[in-house]
Structure 1
Amino acid sequence: MSSKSYWYDVASGQVLTADTREGEAWLGPFGTPEEAEEAPATFIAMANAWLSSEEGERYLAMARDEAGDLGLDGLA
């Protein structure tokens, strides 16, 4: 098994290895290039699952309140 790690560069949409990674706009580490390539979808699914949880609902309600307070009702 390889100990190489892979990262998803958010700015470029490219999969990088640890030795080619620059900046701070990346997600990872992942065990395979395929997992890294799926990073945006994976993180969105995880965020949606968390927001649907009891713990996440509390923060989602706070965000909706803030959006309304800022006049961003369409985002709430």
Structure 2
Amino acid sequence: MSTLSAPAIQICAFALGCALIHAGRRHARALTAVLAVLAVLAALLVLLGASAVTAPDADAAIMDEVALYEGI
């Protein structure tokens, strides 16, 4: 891929999205509901990804209440 292909794909995707929204303006209420659901799902996926990245490993040592105070 050339260095201009990624921005070109993004521009085409944006233009396609604009065209679809423009074509669906007769059904504005339904389109708004669909876009709202998609936005919530996208936010949930971002939060799920962030929680997966920051979650402790399964092999990590389990800390109990006593272990928390051993270093004091």
The normalised TM-score by structure 2 is 0.31
The normalised TM-score by structure 1 is 0.30
**Larger fraction in strand:** 1
Q: Which has the larger radius of gyration?
A: 2
